[in-house]
A and B are shown apart, each in its own frame.
Chain A
């Protein structure tokens, strides 16, 4: 029932899907990092006009399934005149979803900056821009890098959802192959293997990051 020749013959196609998966993962993580920072800053803003909507949006995004969000973005946005390819929608949808979680990590990092640093910055009368870019963020970000790494792995493993909106990532490729040959064992096994290998490699990377940035000395 397991056919090696079939397995080898489909591997290139699955590999193509893997490239799309990695592409989508990295880009949506970049989107999540940026939007997440915006959310984090907006949420801790003293101005209610800023923090309330940010909170409402993050609550909503976190309270609803990613799958439904993707469907919504994919099928509804174009009706409002915004047309993007499926992959772009997928990257944005994944990025937005993860941004709400990453915002939390940022917030933790920012809150963890010692009070004395804030006071010192206030004493030096630093402008907000310098306060954030020279004092707070450089101290806030290194300690959260391991946590961000874990998010990246989690996001990577969410990418099969993109298959639902016709992005030809690994899972969809495997499914197509299965549907064509009426044989699902080999394609899905290949997908599982790829995910496993990639996850193991990236978690080794995260362990390394942790060792590098996990201590306070390295952070400051």
Chain B
């Protein structure tokens, strides 16, 4: 045995570094690199930049949940901002009525939004089609009305306040909050990365590609879809709770429909189904409405009415044009470039198939729906009647 292994090792050229094959170890390696990088980044940044980094972190959490739901499981939510609101309000209510530590508060925010997700997800799985999309849109549109109806409980227009968690005295509070948010983002991404490589992840993909085949293979289709939706809603709830900490309070205006739109556009631009792509989307969500769109507006000297709506117009365009022209998003484009560059340097001139094959199925649901729809559609059947 030992002899064979030695010979095999001698045959293969040994690269100077190889990522661990175990998913957990690999993801922890990525996370360790990210921790070092982010530690130095937050040291360099001003308090306001820390605030923005924290924002990027919690949008990354929400996007990770959404991209898992849509890219991996083939379901869609148009109202993830609604689940963020559930998480945010849960945290704020806990702050108001209890004196707990921030960790259990975040955990309960996750659990509550996952539970609301189950209430929406279970009926929606009874049918295929756009039911989940419509129902989540209703959640996002309806929740502000609900908080208005019971405004003594939800704090009315002022909403509820959520004081920032305080850390050690040597660290300034903005940095401490940014660290909490970044830690949450890294933990969520590690856990989701592992989940996708597990039995659940494979079931999610199987259900997306063909529900009938998946059920024949022994997968409980409805349960799988509900689990995916609950995980996704839980992520959104965590993101909403972290948003509440950043904003220092929640009210119904804090979670408008536009957050749901931003999340969808961020998912599309990052690359649907790619956990790495969520960072691109999160950066877009944080900087486009507050810095890039105003800069663009002042550059072209448009009036205030146009500049107020510019970000929304761009996000709408991103959704429409992105879906029609580049469904793979930034991460898909990077992967394409990496495969071409790899082909240029590899001796046989063939693109690195392992790279593209590994990731290709992830984009499938959004690229070529063949595998998802055509099977069940009545229209594809071509047999003229004989009578």
Q: Are A and B subunits of one complex? A: no
Chain A contact residues, CB within 8 Å of chain B:
none
